[in-house]
Amino acid sequence: MSFSSWPFRVCLTLFTLGGVVWLGASVARMVVGFDVFLTGTLDFKPTQSESVRLHTIWLFTLLGGWTGWSFLTCTVGGLGTAIIAWKSFRSHGWLLMSAILLVLLIPVQAYVAWEDYRLWTFFDRVTGMPFAQPSEIIGVFLHRYTNTAVNIMLGMSLLAALTIILFCTLRPLQKQKLDSTKA
């Protein structure tokens, strides 16, 4: 297995670029999403009007598109890298651990993408104007933050992504090649 072949480079580039955009958009999305709440609670800010709240939810939905598509790019690149490099998993244990963590991320992010699509259908894609009643949009938005299982899985998925970064940086469980000239 050559780590300098062009398919490996393309897959690694997709994995890296998709992962960077996904992590960045996820953090920006959390900031935008929690902007409608009072600090430390899930109570809406009383000073925000309904139109400001809906616009913030629309921005949250737009960032959801960025996170979904970038995670798809990251997944395609990561799975491609894992398929190309599977023969070297024994000597590069960090690749195997990263591939396992990526596969564990897929169901969580697929569910989140589905929830984002549900929220996306409530808005006009060009103007961002809501199609549904504000109470229905806010209900779907709140479901995302009040569902404890989803929030725990999202937190764990971000920790898994950071662990993948650490594995790829520190490269634990990599067998050293023996130098035959020393014997």
Model confidence pLDDT, tens digit, residues 156-178: 999 999 999 998 888 887 777 65
Structural domain includes residue 177: no
176 lies in some domain = no
Does any domain span residue 119?
Answer: yes
What pLDDT is stored for residue 170 in this prediction? Answer: 86
Give the residue numbers spanning the domain of 35.
6-170
CA 85 to chain centre: 23
Q: Which residues of the chain have pLDDT under 50?
A: none
| Residue 106 structure tokens | 């897929």
Total tally of structural domains belonging to the chain: 1
CA–CA separation, 172 and 107 (whole Å): 26
**Is 175 among the domain residues?**
no
H helix intervals, the chain: 6-33, 50-84, 93-120, 134-146, 148-170
pLDDT of residue 171: 81
125-152 per-position pLDDT tens digit: 888 899 999 999 999 999 888 888 888 9
